[in-house]
Amino acid sequence: MQMKLKKSLAILWTMSVITSSSVLAYAFPKGENDFEKITDTGVSLHISQKLNITQPSDNITTSASSYLITGTSNPNLPLYLNGTEVTKRGRFGSFAMTVNLAEGKNTITVTQGENSDRVYITRTNNPGYTSATAITNAFPIYDTFAHGGEEVTLKCVAPAGSRVYADFMGKRFELKQNVPSASKGIAANFSIKIIIPKVSEFTEPVKITYTLNNDGNTSVYESEGTFFAAPQNEKVLIQATEVATPVYTDKNGSYIKTIVTRSTVDKVIEQDDGMYKLAMGGWVSSRHVKPLLGNYSHINTVTDISRDFDYLGESYLLKGNSYPPYEFINENEYLKVILYNTKNVPEISVQDSEIFSDSQVSYDGVNTTITFYKKNSKSLWGYGIEYKEGKTVIYCKKPPVLSSNPQKPLEGIVVTLDPGHGGKDPGALGTAQLTGSNEKDFTLATSMAVKNRLEDLGAQVIMTRTDDSHVSFNERMDAAIKNRADFFISIHYNSGTPTASGSEVYYYYGPSAKFARSTAAAMTANTSKNNRGVFGKAFRVVLNPFCPSILTEVEFISNPVGYDDSLTKTNHYNVANAMADSIINLLTEYNS
């Protein structure tokens, strides 16, 4: 790459205030400005103003007919790409422009005065292939099993033209390259179908060893997951490992039948390519469960029931010998809880309940259905199931209310804030790519500003992270469930085309839809962002019925204007006010 560059300049932003009025009456006395207080997040966002092509970061070969060029520049000087002025730039100089590619070598040059940067993009007629030097995706990726006499496919990805062997149950098998004509060295699929030998007892779970012979070199790999064989007529149980484990209506995962929580147990009655069909009738992915070895039962026989009421909500505790799958049906008049593979549930008293007026228990010979009749359509805020010490706990949350203190309207309200991504997961890189802040930085800065605003209004805020650390999906959801949060908000920044702009809000459960709509409206009122809509989608972190849970995409950082604006304190301030407004407006409407 040839270039003449000015000295790199990294800048931190302190922007003027663009106020949004609707929340300010709650936030501070009239005339007082708390911009710096709210935007004092401790998170430094930056972008270089050095002239630099950030995408592609080096010379590349592609079969595409066009390519998106992104980069950074001095915002005070005109910018030209192959002689054409780039007019779509962010306030701090980031840019994005799609160029058409001719066959052969294309020269891409950006210039500002005497400074320039250049990359070469070669367009070929051949689709690009990924090269490989090692074995990856070796079966099984997750812990799994098969019964004796069943067929199993040993498979992996390895360099085409190599020889691959699997050592399995005392034998060595040579895997065959699925596409024999694949060019040598590219990533190719290898596999072999084998019949599991019949066994009289469960074998020990083991990892499968794979050996790669490639260009005279030999290397050995192990599968990430373990495998065991089961006797032909022995049942195998699985246990959910995720806080939110989707159970699908079919093995293709076309539609979610229900979502169960960690520790849920059921019997496998069929399996197909990494999917298990359960006794309760749905299919679950092997990536979200683990097989159980030992003397377990999937039939839950209830021996006792108790209740635990507190100021936040009501728990109905069913003591039994298993943790059954379940399904909720939430309507205006009732909450129906289907406990699969469950029997002997007695009638449940709702005496002294602030949420329910009556209940009914029915049993169809296999499953038990508990119907809780609501006192009114607004008496139930959230619900869910937890497993504790041999008990299935049905938790029902009472609606939160605004405080009577006009300066602290959110006193008593608990909010879990989830800055998306973090640590090894940067999220979207934006137009500056690795030369500037990326999504994980934006989400943390914005979330900390939201935290400051909500705490200023009296709320208790639970953060899933306060620094650049990796947080699992389970940890993110646990932060809301264990703290009995009233709201869960996951903050993200979007990526798409260089012209896409605006905010989006996502939810899954019906009761979260009102919160999503309230947030979308508040974002429009408090910011200049385009409202792109409210959408129902099964993002992992919003699969939480314990409280209204949403994921907000604040802005597209693939757009240079959106990227640069997202760096400013004004952006975080306005979003913080929007999130506060969304909660206050929803609770005002809900309790009216």
Residue 555 has which token pair? 């802005």
Q: For residue 246, how many other CB atoms are within 10 A of its CB?
A: 21
Determine contact, residues 547/486, Cβ cutoff 8 Å: yes
Q: What is the DSSP string of 519-541?
A: HHHHHHHHSS--EEEEEE---GG
Q: How far apart are CA 394 and CA 567, in angstroms?
A: 43
Cis status, amide bond into 399, omega within 30 of 0:
no
- Give the helix ranges, DSSP H, for 285-435: none
Residue 320 has which token pair? 């039994």
Q: How far apart are CA 490 and CA 440, in angstroms?
A: 12
Q: What is the DSSP string of 179-222?
A: STTSPTTBEEEEEEEEEPPP-SSPPPPBPPEEEEEETTEEEEEE
For the chain, how are helix, strand and coil distributed in percent, rounded to 5? Answer: 15, 40, 45
Q: How far apart are CA 3 and CA 179, in angstroms?
A: 43
Cis status, amide bond into 498, omega within 30 of 0:
no
- Give the helix ranges, DSSP H, for 349-508: 439-456, 473-481
The dihedral sign for the CA sequence 381, 385, 388, 390: positive
The dihedral sign for the CA sequence 19, 21, 27, 33: positive
Amino acid at residue number 218 = T
* Region at 37 (left for phi over 0; alpha for psi -120 to 50; beta for the rest): alpha
Catalytic pick among 242, 553, 555, 589? 553
**Residue 439 annotated among the catalytic residues of the structure:** no
Q: How far apart are CA 463 and CA 45, in angstroms?
A: 20
Give catalytic residues, as residue numbers: 553
